[in-house]
Amino acid sequence: MSEQMQQQTDPIQHGIKANLDQIIQQLIQVFLVGLAIGMTRTVVPGLAETEFGLAEQAFMSLALFVVVFGLVKASMNLLAGHLSDQFGRRRLLVAGWLLAIPVPFLIFYAQNWWWIIAAMVFLGLNQGLCWSMALNSKLDLAKASQKGLVNGFNEFSGYAAVGLAGWITAWMAEQMGAREALLVFGLVVIALGLFLAIVKVIDTHPWSQLHQQKHQEAQAEKAAENGQAVEPTQKATLGAMMVYATFKQPQLMALNQAGLVEKFIDALVWVFMPVFLISQSQTLVQASAIIAIYGVVWGGSQLITGPLSDKWGRRGLIVGGFWLCAITSFGFVMTDSAWVWSVLAGLMGFGMAMLYPTLGAAVADVSEPRVRASVLGIYRFWRDFGYAAGAFLMGLLAFYSESVVWPFYFVGGMMFLSGLWVWVALSPKAMEAGKK
């Protein structure tokens, strides 16, 4: 606590270098958050049939745990940014870890599939609070020109952990049993995350306030140059910002729908890819290894794509990522070779790396610092609502087609169309019109 008080009394500066210690702490936090969700990626779908008797064709029941997770996490994302402005980033981070504690116990003692659904409620609360606070805190600490770099580091840390955790817990499940593996792994991760959040992390709201002060000064200077008066800024309600970002501002509309649709890929990987691979005679560990390639490439590549978006712009990387994911989604069910699936999983991960941090940075580009946490929360609401919408629609499609193949075609088509919308909305002409 003394370290926290000392840092709060030091002069506040923006920049990764000036705040490297806290940036590292926040990266560790999002890595641990990624481990917490990653442990459910292949082992939990595997439990559906072996432990709870869900038949291979019970696609809606299987998809339900991701639907519930997506709804809870989306709701928390919407509230987290708004709440953090009132209560501070660090308090919500600690609360998020406390809410994760029931997850491994619910899975370990589960009597039926509804226990797994309940575990996903708490996991969604944890992910919505902790991931949001870790990202917002890093954006607070960094310079305005480092948004793409910060998003890249954040998503690298989180999604590399997702991929690694899926493979590690699958290996542990073969050694000690699935329930035991998730209990041990989950408790270690949650305890470490909670300990570091309490002992090492500081609240970054003062850095956010400094960003807003600089923004207002720049606006005043620009207005003075043009001979205009500066109108006093008023804090908009969350409802008003929700309407504005979802239905009125063209660029935010395009970015929000893009966030929603890109989560279709992740829901596909979470729910249907393990089922597909196991149906193709892959073991749980083999399927986990292929899926881990997707997560690790996605995470690692963002160290490149995030900074590149600061230099090259957002539009090309976002659209290219969408269309690469579309191609690989189609290709996945057109092949029957483990090495081809591995290559496609890597390309799919790289496509996600192109679009994922870039979307978040693009949202931050068109948001004022004083409402950035809330606008990012709205974007993250729609993005993670994509888990629920995607899993539900894919579950229906798989149920009525009695095939796990059609969800892959559906996601490929949606990714192509969503990328096309972004290409139009983020064109130079449309961006200029949006500023007027």
Render each residue's pLDDT in the chain as its tens digit; 436 residues.
444 444 444 678 888 888 889 999 999 999 999 999 999 887 887 777 667 766 555 678 778 889 999 999 888 877 876 787 778 889 999 999 999 999 999 999 999 889 999 999 999 999 989 988 888 888 888 887 787 788 778 888 888 898 889 889 989 988 998 899 999 999 999 999 999 999 998 888 788 777 667 756 666 666 666 666 444 445 667 788 888 888 888 899 999 999 999 999 999 998 899 889 988 888 888 888 899 899 889 888 888 888 888 888 889 999 999 999 999 999 999 998 999 999 999 999 999 999 988 998 888 887 776 677 678 878 988 998 999 999 999 999 988 888 889 999 999 999 999 999 999 988 877 666 555 5
Q: What is the pLDDT of residue 2?
A: 41
What is the distance between the alpha carbons of residues 244 and 286, in angstroms, rounded to a whole number? 46
pLDDT at 230: 45
- Report the C-alpha gap between 181 and 120 in whole angstroms: 17
Quick one: CA dihedral 293, 296, 297, 298, positive or negative?
positive
Closest by CA to 307, choosing from 422, 154, 162, 420, is 154
Q: What is the pLDDT of residue 205?
A: 74
Phi, psi of 41, rounded to the nearest 5 degrees: -70, -45
- How far from 34 is each of 102, 295, 390, 391, CA to CA, in Å? 17, 10, 20, 20
Output the six-digit token pair for 401: 């087609």
Q: Is 368 helix (H, G, I), strand (E, B) or coil?
A: coil
CA distances 113 to 57, 108, 164, 380, Å, are: 15, 12, 25, 27
Cα maximum dimension of the chain: 72
Query: What's the pTM?
Result: 0.80
Query: Closest Cα partner for 39 from 292, 246, 255?
Result: 292
The DSSP secondary structure of 64-76, one letter per residue, reads: HHHHHHHHHHHHH
Gyration radius of the chain's alpha carbons: 21
CB of 51 closer than 8 Å to CB of 108: no
> Which H or E element spans position 398?
helix 372-401
Residue at 247: amino acid letter: F
Print burial letters for 261-270: b (CB count within 10 Å at least 16), e (below 16): bbbbbbbbbb
- The distance of Cα 1 from the centroid of its chain, to the nearest Å, equals 30
User: Of the candidates 304, 182, 321, which has an alpha carbon nearest to the alpha carbon of residue 262?
Assistant: 321
Instruction: Tell me the HSE value of 337 on the side-chain side, using a 13 A CA sphere.
Output: 6
How would DSSP label each residue in 26-52?
A: HHHHHHHHHHHHHTTSSHHHHHHHHTT
CB–CB of 70/387 below 8 Å?
yes
Residue 195 in tokens:
């300990």
With beta carbons less than 8 A apart as the criterion, state whether 387 and 261 touch. no
Secondary-structure breakdown of the chain: helix, strand, coil percentages, each rounded to the nearest 5? 85, 0, 15
Contact by Cβ (8 Å): 330, 416: no
